[in-house]
Amino acid sequence: MKFTIEQSLLISSVQDVMKAISSRTAIPILTGMKIEAREHGILLTGSDSDISIESYIPAESDGNVYVEDIEPGSIVLHARYFPDIVRKLPENKVAFEADDNMKVTIRSGRAEFNLNGQDAEEYPQLPIVQTDQSFDMPIALLKTMIKQTSFAVSTMETRPILTGVNVTLENNNLNFTATDSHRLASKDLPVEATGMQFSNIVIPGKSINELYKILDDSEENVEISVTNNQILFKTKHLNFLSRLLDGNYPQTSRLIPDQVKTVIHAKTKDLIHTIDRASLLAKEERNNVVKLSTCGQDSLEISSNSPEIGNVTEEVSVTAIEGEELKISFSSKYMLDALKAIEVEDIKIDFTGAMRPFIIRPTNEEKILQLILPVRTY
């Protein structure tokens, strides 16, 4: 097996594939990266058996030649050293060769590395996702959905199903929902997936966050395919395969209050800055609690108190306040996470009392919703 490749492309592919490789794995060969030379390009594979990533570098694309002198074959190299070697090679052309004894030689400029490889035949076969259940969507929209929901997954293993993002597709409406039982983030998006529907597809939070990092901010589409226990995200040169979490995701729609007693219309940035300042004195062990009180019809008082340190009070103008007076306490961290995720200028917050969950939505009716449970202090 041999080939000559551009270093910059190799670095980019290696970095993508490394996101699926873990040093803590029960299958020793999975600490390595599989490199396969094919007639029309190079395929790199990494897997920790939960996430598998394949990155393909075509020999030629749009008239540009990226890989030359290809002799097909495959080898597995230890992933601990290979990425650093590739990154520090002196020139942009890298010659790669493996002999019958699995000895690998990497040359660039005057540098030459000789590494011991492993037999690629011992590398586990990745699950093949064979399904008619697939649809396309723009990469940019998928990244937005991940960004606006995945922060709310649980980090506690006590309820493993909540450590993932629940994905449903019904009537050409794609929904992502995440909750850690103290807050919830939900986003809807219309997609073209005629005749296709699924529910209770729960992608591990770790998987979906790695996917977010690995996808380029391109105008391309990503193809999404679903089977019973795997989900595949496929772009032009990348396959990202993740296992799904077992179990039933809770019915979250019943958490959404159906009545409203107080509505606040506000500028998102004004609230973010005010709550951020108040949180400076919010005590860590008390969930960074801040208090919100309505003042008349166009301003709020945001305050925080820490007996050992001091207190802070700030009044902030809002667009409008409708309904009953309100005093409520909540985690400043949860509130800031939600406000930053919404990414719109104007929001409305629906309250149903001091001890009931409240809902943050964009005023422009975009299909995104953030729900937060208050903290009992009053």
pLDDT digits 0-9 by tens, 239-298: 999 999 999 999 998 888 889 999 999 999 999 999 999 999 886 656 689 999 999 889
Mean pLDDT within 99-124:
95
Q: Is residue 210 part of a domain?
A: yes
Q: Do 110 and 36 lie in a common domain?
A: yes
Q: Do 161 and 71 lie in a common domain?
A: no
Q: Do 140 and 118 lie in a common domain?
A: no
Q: Do 88 and 14 lie in a common domain?
A: yes
- Give the CATH number, domain containing residue 261: 3.70.10.10
Q: Tell me: the pLDDT tens digits for 117-152?
A: 999 999 998 877 777 778 999 999 999 999 999 999
> Which domain covers residue 274, as residue numbers?
256-372
- Give the CATH number, domain containing residue 161: 3.10.150.10
Q: What pLDDT band is residue 196 in, cutting at 50, 70 and 90?
A: confident
Q: How confident is the model at residue 123, as a pLDDT?
A: 94
Q: Is residue 324 part of a domain?
A: yes
Q: Count of domains in the chain?
A: 3
Look at residues 201, 216, 248 and tell me which one is the last residue of a structural domain: 248
Q: How confident is the model at residue 245, as a pLDDT?
A: 96
Q: Do 12 and 53 lie in a common domain?
A: yes
Beta-carbon-side half-sphere exposure of residue 324 (alpha carbons within 13 Å):
11
Q: Do 12 and 101 lie in a common domain?
A: yes
Report DSSP letters for 127-165, one per residue: PP---S-EEEEEHHHHHHHHHHHGGGS---TTSGGGGEE
Q: Is residue 339 part of a domain?
A: yes
Q: Do 333 and 285 lie in a common domain?
A: yes
Q: Is residue 341 part of a domain?
A: yes
Mean pLDDT within 333-345:
94
The Cα–Cα gap between 297 and 168 comes to 39
Q: Do 282 and 368 contact (CB within 8 A), yes or no? A: no
The Cα–Cα gap between 337 and 370 comes to 10
Determine whether 22 is exposed, middle or buried from the number of CB atoms within 10 Å of its CB (0-12, 13-18, 19+): middle
Mean pLDDT of the chain: 92
